[in-house]
Structure 1
């Protein structure tokens, strides 16, 4: 880890009233304190479709708060950094956010492996982090969660996405009981997210009586999967479960079908992207799970969807749009609580005040009621299974699995 100076750890957070700023950082009229919400996501590269959806949805939340003057005397500004889905870059970005005294909260990242390199610096600096997409259970409950000994490792980390423990259980239940698949070949991409999700799926699928007929690991940068596809064919699997993301999942699925195996590939929220069926000419019938109910079906999301369209973003809000808006709004709510508890002004120790307020945050968000438990996990455990039908993801089934 890069060392954090005492000054940064303390935050150097005295914020004086200053003019609000436009997109060029220039002061405009008004006597408002600028509060920056950092956003970390892959804005370039293979996963940029998801990352840009995160950036835009956070931007919309900040603009909405400013338009409503939701926190009197405060102008919110988004500062987005590209982590390229690389843990080392994410760690560098964390230091940039920490060194900017106006940053009182950070939304992101997309990848659990990136988050692992950001959590300790943020914790040392007392800077609140809310991820709309990280599902790695250990991020909030430590490695002991697998043996029932969950301990929160970093008090600054929160998320609006649920855990892979819950997602894996839901996927196994759906594939075994709803889709009727009993023999599954299991592959993961060896990254934190993919490996964790595959492990959770395996544990729950076998508990239900399902059979894992083979396992394998692939490189997330690979695009030629003919060797592993040949292995799958020999096992008689009636489904393939993939722990990983859509850039590799799409060609894996297509090569599976090209080999004559008419079985579905199923994955988690990492493959639930509009890019998956675009990259895969034989995606029909493939399955994915994602956090929450479909945003398009939620009455609570109508305003978000309409405002996103009106804002004219050229990129779709994608799988994490609603969760990102809620993650950003949770920081805004915490700032509001901190300001209201300090005679209408941003406290001198703004980061501590925001962090302290996060435990009290509760509001009706885009994806439902938003609040956090003692681990910083969302209290909303709703999941949805999707199937590619007619070249696009369509919701099949929603439930909140009971994970003991």
Structure 2
């Protein structure tokens, strides 16, 4: 999930990093000592996600899916001589807590990899801290292109800024244009009112959607920005009504998107809203009982339709988690498994486990995961470029179309 905010690491953060640098900069990871009961080395996989607040449904699904991967790796002794544990920290979907969490993970020398975060803006606050410590980070949800390809990616200058950053979700460079092609070519909508929540994810997604939609011949009937915490959209409802738009595209997350769409429908504006993976959640449908006909895109193919995901779905249910695995569950499991496979490769041949060894091994992993083939390109991006368009139908998200973006 995604605009670049220049977040400066505080003196306190720098101090904490200095204190924890020993064993955390690709040198010996001293905290991976033997387990007193089994003799196994303990390796901790961190999880950073919003575990409380408006986006907690997504964050809890991420945490639980990583927990399942860790339990199964231990049960099957996936890495002989290694016992995995998880350490989950709550970023509340905000950059400052995410930055503090990154520092805490780095300070714990048993942590050899981190899954998360959910939000691109949070990732921006963490990347430098993890990269300085050579601590691998694999996000199941970030879609902001600049995270992996640099700030000049849109001009064709792609340069990977952080060697420790990876993701199993594809980017907004693909998701936004895929949505534009679906809305224009398949849904036959030609005049769109564009709204975003001014956050990194939402603004970036709206921008890439706009570029492709106008390229196809579509018209932008109007543009507005909202605050992610807004819940009264009466002024925007008036503007959409007078614009003559036949659809709304929203760059942002479900806590605001649901009420916005509902207020449009209640005002008699019965045009569909479309958004990205951050609205393709069951929570959006709960917030908006009049969501019928709205659209959303999500990274990858629908997990519940994949043969590769059947065991994950069954195992998740059997584990008794009270929270749904949600949009990013399969990608979170695969993110954790990529770290586990990195540990396995780094340990092969009796090598000493270090953060740099695990990071370098993750770059080379390739396996059949819950979401399909899992591997990473030269930028740390997933090689799986598939996406799916959904429509809200009878209180559920129904698949409309799956495929890859063709530029």
Q: TM-score, normalised by structure 2?
A: 0.95
Q: Does 1:185 align with 2:193?
A: yes
Residue of structure 2 in register with 1:207 after alignment: 215
Unaligned runs of 5+ in 2: 1-8
**d(CA) in 2 for partners of 1:16 and 1:47?**
33
How far 1:31 moved relative to its partner?
1.1
Question: CA 1:203/1:291 → structure 2, altered by over 3 Å: closer, same or farther?
Answer: same
Unaligned runs of 5+ in 1: 20-26
What SS does the corresponding residue of 1:143 show, helix, strand or coil?
coil
Residue of structure 1 in register with 2:174 after alignment: 166
Residue deviations 1:318-355 (CA, integer Å, cap 9, x gap): 000000000000000000000114x2x6x25x101101
- 1:311 pairs, out of 292, 308, 319, with 319
Q: Does 1:275 align with 2:283?
A: yes
Residue of structure 1 in register with 2:239 after alignment: 231
Considering only aligned residues, what root-mean-square deviation do their CA atoms show, in Å?
1.1
Question: CA 1:218/1:16 → structure 2, altered by over 3 Å: closer, same or farther?
Answer: closer
Residue of structure 2 in register with 1:5 after alignment: 18
What SS does the corresponding residue of 2:227 show, helix, strand or coil?
coil
Residue of structure 1 in register with 2:4 after alignment: none
Question: CA 1:9/1:236 → structure 2, altered by over 3 Å: closer, same or farther?
Answer: farther
Q: Does 1:18 align with 2:18?
A: no
Q: Does 1:373 align with 2:391?
A: no
What SS does the corresponding residue of 2:229 show, helix, strand or coil?
coil
- 2:335 pairs, out of 327, 332, 348, with 327
CA contact 2:179–2:389 (8 Å) conserved in 1: yes
Q: TM-score, normalised by structure 1?
A: 0.95
CA contact 2:115–2:139 (8 Å) conserved in 1: yes
Aligned residues: 391
**d(CA) in 1 for partners of 2:21 and 2:263?**
50
List aligned pairs for 1:1-400, cutoff 5 A: 1=9, 2-3=13-14, 4-5=17-18, 7-8=20-21, 10-11=23-24, 13-15=29-31, 17-19=33-35, 29-341=37-349, 343=350, 347-348=352-353, 350-400=354-404
**d(CA) in 1 for partners of 2:176 and 2:220?**
14
**d(CA) in 2 for partners of 1:64 and 1:239?**
45
What SS does the corresponding residue of 2:74 show, helix, strand or coil?
helix
Question: CA 1:9/1:125 → structure 2, altered by over 3 Å: closer, same or farther?
Answer: farther
How far 1:30 moved relative to its partner?
1.1
- 1:401 pairs, out of 399, 402, 405, with 405
Residue deviations 1:61-90 (CA, integer Å, cap 9, x gap): 000100110000001101000000110000
How far 1:14 moved relative to its partner?
2.3
**d(CA) in 2 for partners of 1:204 and 1:259?**
29
**d(CA) in 2 for partners of 1:244 and 1:16?**
40
CA contact 2:50–2:90 (8 Å) conserved in 1: yes
How far 1:37 moved relative to its partner?
0.2
CA contact 2:67–2:86 (8 Å) conserved in 1: yes
**d(CA) in 2 for partners of 1:52 and 1:355?**
25
